[in-house]
Structure 1
Amino acid sequence: MVVFAILFMLLAILNIFFPAMGWYMRYGWMVKGDSEPSDAYLIMSRISSVIVLIVFLIFFVPLIFS
């Protein structure tokens, strides 16, 4: 359970600082030529990652370490 928590937090933090990497892994390989994620996608990806990380820290971390 602790390994899952650490992995989840690392992925959320990685997505906060490098949201384009997630876009390339999910959508970028399907597009031929040069294609970039939109600014709206990058902002929403960062915002959702911050929200998910906060919810995770509030609800699941106390359960794991209690």
Structure 2
Amino acid sequence: MIFFAFIIIAVAIVNIIYPSFGWHLRYGWMVKGDSEPSDAYLIMSRNSSVIVLIVFLIVGIPFLF
């Protein structure tokens, strides 16, 4: 259970710091040539990761202990 919590926190932090990494894993391989995610995608990806991290820290962490 602690390993699962660590994975969620790590993925959220990576997505906050480097949101285009997730785009390249999900969509980038389908596009031929050089293509980058839009600014709107990057902003929404960061915002959703911050929200997920906050909710997990408030709700999820107390259940681990």
> Fold match, TM over 0.5?
yes
> Quick one: distance in 1 between partners of 2:52 and 2:5?
12
> Quick one: distance in 2 between partners of 1:17 and 1:60?
22
TM-score, scaled to structure 1: 0.97
Give the number of equivalent residue pairs.
65
Unaligned runs of 5+ in 1: none
Please show how residues 42-61 of structure 1 align to structure 2 within 5 Å. 42-61=42-61
Root-mean-square deviation (Å)? 0.4
Displaced runs of 4+ in structure 1, greater than 3 A?
none
Unaligned runs of 5+ in 2: none
TM-score, scaled to structure 2: 0.98
